[in-house]
A and B are shown apart, each in its own frame.
Chain A
Amino acid sequence: MQGLTVKGLDCVRGERLVFAGVALAVNPGRALLLSGANGSGKSSLLRILAGLLQPAAGTLAWEGEDIATDSEAHRRRIAYVGHADPVKPGLTVCENLEFWARLYGFEPGIEPALYQFGIEHLADLPARYLSAGQRRRLTLARLAAGQNSPAGPPLWLLDEPAAGLDPDAVAMLANSILAHLANEGVAVIASHGGRLDEALDGHTSRLVLQDDAP
């Protein structure tokens, strides 16, 4: 029961100390909700956990093993959803999802993922015609594609994943996350509260990042 463990994490952006001494532990089958004011470092923390940012200090471990010893293996265990939607307007919905799924080795999960996020009827539509919410659904469908594939990553790092989603899509996202947790997956989710937090209630703990780091 080890999952993700973080100790004494400091983050410096430019000259500014964003947070210091952050410690957390998320066991398999559990999700950690990150909250805090704008600029408190939720996105930075997620990017550090994904290996996209280097921490100023601290250690990260997965199943008790320091992530720094094998960063390649750590990348393979991550599904990261940031603020932006990596969706190309010139490709269709299906082509967009297919590209990422094949790049990550999630091919078997493509079609069910479209259904899972209710965008199967848009499969052949160029992504330039999607609304912001539909683009978000397409981004999240990549998580579902991983979930439906044996190569699916166990650690989900989601940065405000429900932003721009309607209540139905939030429910679909919550179902995906709950299924991931039921499969002994781990999720760290930056969230400002709302329907998603309520839907995940009972499976989560919360970390509030302070705006003024010591």
Chain B
Amino acid sequence: MIRLLLLIRRELKLAFRGGTDAAMAVVFFILAATLFPFGIGPDIEVLPRIGGGVIWVVALLASMLSLERMFSADYEDGSLEQFVLSPLPMGMVALAKMISHWLTTGVLLLAAAPVLAVFYNLPSTAFVPLIVSMLLGTPTLSLIGAIGAALTLGARRSGVLISLLVLPLYIPVLIFGSLVVDSALAGREYGSLLMVLGGFLLVALATAPWATAAALRQAID
């Protein structure tokens, strides 16, 4: 556990000292979401209807931006080999990377989401469901994304490959995340939808670190 925290601490230090990846994700999130009203027009009736879906789609794309860098620096500088030989199991190494990715992108997206909710004129009743759905959904995106990042490690044009691998797996999270906001807007019950998102998170948490670890071992072989 101490070693897991040690690695998360290092990742956070590197992310905040490097700065660009985390900042890029949140700036992309805000900019891309801002483009939609320009494209479809500032209709006060339409914007709240599409707001939840747009915020979710853009959050999903923003969380993918830094996936390519999740393991590549460690792969190139030999850190990955040292991790394999360290007392920290590779599944835990992968988990630390996933948690760090979420803390440096998912949390920032969560923080920016209310601003976009206001921008899309979402009623205050949809704020909490949006944030809770993202709180449950964005970690799942980091967990699934890590598998794609590990599988494409060392490949040319790995960024494109990650998208092809990961986007189809993101669809259930997108569907249920958007449905939560839509249900809240329509005054329907959305607790069960949040539970499904929670279920996705638990399944991803139980499987993704070990799948990622296997892919990482394969990459250094």
On A, residues with C-beta under 8 Å from B are 50-54, 75-76, 78, 80, 82-88, 90-91, 95, 99-100, 102-105
Contacts and interface: CB of A to CB of B under 8 A. Distances in A.
A80 B14 contact: no
Interface string B1-45: 001001100100110011000000000000000000000000000
Give the top 8 A-B pairs by smallest Cβ distance, nearest first.
A84-B78, A86-B79, A90-B17, A86-B78, A90-B14, A82-B78, A103-B86, A86-B82
B6 A87 contact: no
B157 to A, nearest CB: 21
Given A90-B17, A91-B10, A95-B13, A76 B77 contact: no
B215 to A, nearest CB: 15
Contacts of B86: 75, 103-104
B3 A103 contact: yes
Nearest to B74: A86
A88 B86 CA distance: 17
B220 interface: yes
Given A82-B78, A90-B18, A103 B6 contact: yes
B60 to A, nearest CB: 27
Contacts of A91: 10, 13-14, 17
Interface of B: 3, 6-7, 10, 13-14, 17-18, 73-74, 76-79, 81-82, 84-88, 220-221
Given A83-B78, A99-B6, A52 B221 contact: yes
Contacts of B74: 86
A52 B73 CA distance: 18
A90 B76 CA distance: 15
A78 B10 contact: no
Contacts of A102: 3, 6
A85 B221 contact: no
Specify the main secondary structure of chain A where it touches its partner: loop
Given A86-B77, A103-B6, A53 B221 contact: yes
21 contacts: A50-B81, A52-B85, A52-B220, A53-B221, A54-B221, A75-B86, A76-B87, A80-B81, A80-B82, A82-B81, A83-B78, A84-B77, A84-B78, A86-B82, A88-B10, A88-B77, A95-B10, A102-B3, A103-B7, A104-B86, A104-B87
B88 A78 contact: no
Nearest to B19: A90
B221 to A, nearest CB: 6
B15 to A, nearest CB: 9
Contacts of B220: 52
Contacts of A51: 84-85
Given A52-B220, A88-B14, A99-B10, A105 B87 contact: yes
Contacts of A100: 82
Contacts of A80: 81-82, 85
Contacts of B73: 88
A128 to B, nearest CB: 10
Given A52-B84, A103-B6, A87 B77 contact: yes
Contacts of A82: 78, 81
Nearest to B88: A103
A80 B81 CA distance: 9
Nearest to B15: A90
Contacts of B221: 52-54
A54 B10 CA distance: 30
A75 B90 CA distance: 12
B7 A85 contact: no
